[in-house]
Amino acid sequence: MQEARRPALLERLRERKLLSFALMAVTLSLGILIGTIISGGGVSAADEKAAAPDAAPLKVPDPVPVENQFTEIVRRVRPSVVNIRVESIPESREARGRQTPEGMEDFFRRFFGMPGAPEDFDMPTPPRRPGEGSGVVVDAHGYVMTNAHVVSEADRVRVRFPDDDEMFDARVIGVDEETDVAVIKVDGAGDRFIPAKLGNSDAVNVGDWAIAIGSPFGFRETVTVGIISAKSREVQGPARISRPFQKFFQTDAAINPGNSGGPLVNIRGEVVGINTAIVSRSGAYEGLGFSLPSNVAVEVYNQIIKHGRVARGSIGITFSNNQDQATLRVYGAEKGVFVTDVKAGGPADEAGMQPEDVIVEIDGVQITDGDQLIELVASLPVGEKVPVKVMRGGKAETLQVEIADRAQLFAEELGFESPEDAEAEEAATVLFGISVQELSSSRREQLGYDGEGGVLVTAVEPTSFSDDIGMLPNDVIVAINRRPVATMNDVREVQNGLKPGDDVAFKVMRRGPDEWQALYLAGVLPESGPRRF
């Protein structure tokens, strides 16, 4: 009997186990489902709780340019403003042959990002010092106006245009130290030249808008705005060196080192000045910037492109610009210029002028002050004789005075290179950028060179064509373009038949560790023109 019930009991136990497992599975599933719902509900609740529930999301509007007059001016002028990079190589005082006269460094800060001159040293290959300035294109043929102090001492000048990092070599056409204006020509830049529109600086008034464009501290194409703060400002150095042709516009448009040579523009987008200097106790912008009026710059530019320099008349006198009217009356004149000194051997001295004379008339023009005298005499042709009326001891005398070249007459006092020195230096100019010396028998013996012919390279101008192709001092040039050379004239005859863009190949002998070896150095003559010989 019991054996008969046993299978039924086992079956019921099995059913109970299955039911328990089913209940457990259902319970577990419900727990997971409830947990998921609770978790999801918690995330939604957190998302809905904003950090700033009362703040509306911001939206960026469609780009709509804000047009104004300054925007249009900059758009027109900016393509004409270039960045000028220069390299200078320090030389020893012996190599320079002359020093800047004491006190000639302008006391105001020239905005030129170049460190001060190092102490004298002699190195086989001196380090190159970089500098930076600005310039403005004034002619579509590649002519750029800038400051003399930017480029006059540079061994290499290169130019970059707006939105273009390519650099183009430039050569200096001429400089005028009196006004600090220079003209350079950029070669190989194609159609990048967009001349700026020039204005008449005589129309500028105090209070007019002034816009300066340039590369302060190397930040290219920087635009600053201010007003014309004053006109006809004179700025003198600590040695009281007179620069009578520097009568500046003063502006509070921000100007800093690197702006030098860039344009000062009026509200019509016309260039009315060339930014030249600042007065600052810190070396940076303090609200006092100075710009040479464009009319003066244009006059200088026209003489430079015609003659390579500016010739100004002078009669060789010194006078005080702040003369007292009582002094004039005591010496017999109501108006005029009181002569304090006469340069020995100058035109006025030779004509018989004396200190304490009062100049009252020149070439029939009544003289009222020193500025008028300077402007009149500077415009007269050098070499022309003009009548000069003076009051001496209350009596009038007329002297015949021959006009001299101011730069030549006062070269030492003003720290200028005399025209004769400049012409002599220019006469020693060749295309290659080397100095050569004929080989005497004693020099050959000293060098240990027994080859035939040849000229000795005594110096290679940094950044010149010869420097670029690897020429070195003490190389012996034996042939140029397969033509043997043995004298200076041989070198000159070869170079006179060459022009920029021609191929030039040198055969040189260079001393090695054990013997002289033949080398072949070649390149294409650059478009940048002649280099120093």
User: Who contacts 296 (Cβ-Cβ below 8 Å, separation ≥6)?
Assistant: 179, 181, 201, 245, 247
Any residues with CB less than 8 A from the CB of 211 and at least 6 apart, and which?
70, 73, 74, 77, 223, 224, 225, 253, 264, 265, 266, 267
- Count of alpha carbons within 13 Å of 270, Cβ hemisphere only? 13
Q: Around Cβ 523, how many Cβ atoms within 10 Å?
A: 15
Amino acid identity for residue 39 in this structure = S
| Rounded Cα gap, residues 458 and 320, in angstroms | 49
CB 359 within 8 A of CB 331: no
Interatomic CA distance for residues 246 and 176, integer angstroms = 11
Cα–Cα nearest to 324, from 335, 316, 315: 335
Residues across the chain: 533
Residue showing tokens 């007459």: 409
Instruction: List, by residue number, the catalytic residues.
Output: 149, 180, 260
Confirm if 447 and 474 have CB atoms less than 8 A apart.
yes
Secondary structure (DSSP) of 235-280: ---TT----TT--EEEE-S---TT-TT-EEE-TTS-EEEEEEEE--
Q: What are phi and psi of 526, to 5 degrees?
A: -70, 160
CA Rg, the chain, in Å? 39
Identify which of 95, 151, 153 has the alpha carbon closest to the alpha carbon of residue 120.
95
> What is the distance between the alpha carbons of residues 287 and 479, in angstroms, rounded to a whole number?
60
Neighbours of 520 (CB within 10 A): 10
- At 57, list the tokens: 């999301």
Coil, helix or strand for 473? coil
